[in-house]
Amino acid sequence: MNLIVGLGNPEVKYHNNRHNIGFMVIDKLLEGLSYTTLNKPAFRGNLYKYHNLLLLKPQTYMNLSGESVHAVSDYFNPEKIIVIHDDLDLRFGVLKFKYEGGNGGHNGLKSIDAHIGKSYYRVRVGIGKPKDKDKIISHVLSDFSTREKKYLDEIIDQAARACLHLIEMPLQTVAQRDSLNLKLTNELLI
């Protein structure tokens, strides 16, 4: 059994926010699958099962994501845990992968680290960083721009494929095969 976790916030008002890219990738992975929903209050999230694959969208809000991941991982003891999250340190259009390491100040990752440790895979989806540090919160909690949306489907598709590849292949293979560095116009470079 393997667990793929998409990070995001549960309310409708956050649905298209940059911070919810993890939820968007989980939704993409679920498209066309005949999955079973395994929602138990203890899981504190929307959990879906397809054969030997669990897909989780924590409903705890970003800062408490570790509570949901911990409950599900304790119950199922997955072989691999893969977490999809937005990354301010990568420009929009970049997709990278990591195992263990620091959290880069990401509150969802901080929560997961506190609850299960750092031994999990990360699919890092670049959302860019505003020049003014005071605008970081409004940046992550805002929707993708019209210009960004032109590339968003491609990024989500690639991230979804990469999650599945991480289950079957070594990290270095996936990093070489599935990393994304879209050549974007200057107007999108944040």
pLDDT in tens, 159-185: 999 999 999 999 999 998 888 888 765
Which pLDDT score is estimated for 188?
Answer: 52
Q: Left, alpha or beta for 125 (phi > 0: left; psi -120 to 50: alpha)?
A: beta
Which pLDDT score is estimated for 184?
Answer: 64
pLDDT at 110 over 60: yes
Instruction: Using alpha carbons, list the distances in angstroms from residue 176 to 95, 170, 171, 180.
Output: 11, 10, 9, 9
Of the candidate ranges 47-51, 58-62, 85-89, 131-135, the one whose mean pLDDT is the lowest: 131-135
Could you tell me the pLDDT band of residue 189, with boundaries at 50, 70 and 90? very low
Average pLDDT over residues 43-51: 97
Domains of the chain: which residue ranges? 2-188
CA distance 170 to 134: 38
Instruction: Using alpha carbons, list the distances in angstroms from residue 30 to 7, 9, 35, 100.
Output: 15, 18, 8, 26
Average pLDDT over residues 39-57: 96
% of the chain with per-residue pLDDT over 70: 96
Residues with a known catalytic role = 19
CA distance 5 to 23: 8
Architecture of the domain made up of 2-188? 3-Layer(aba) Sandwich (3.40)
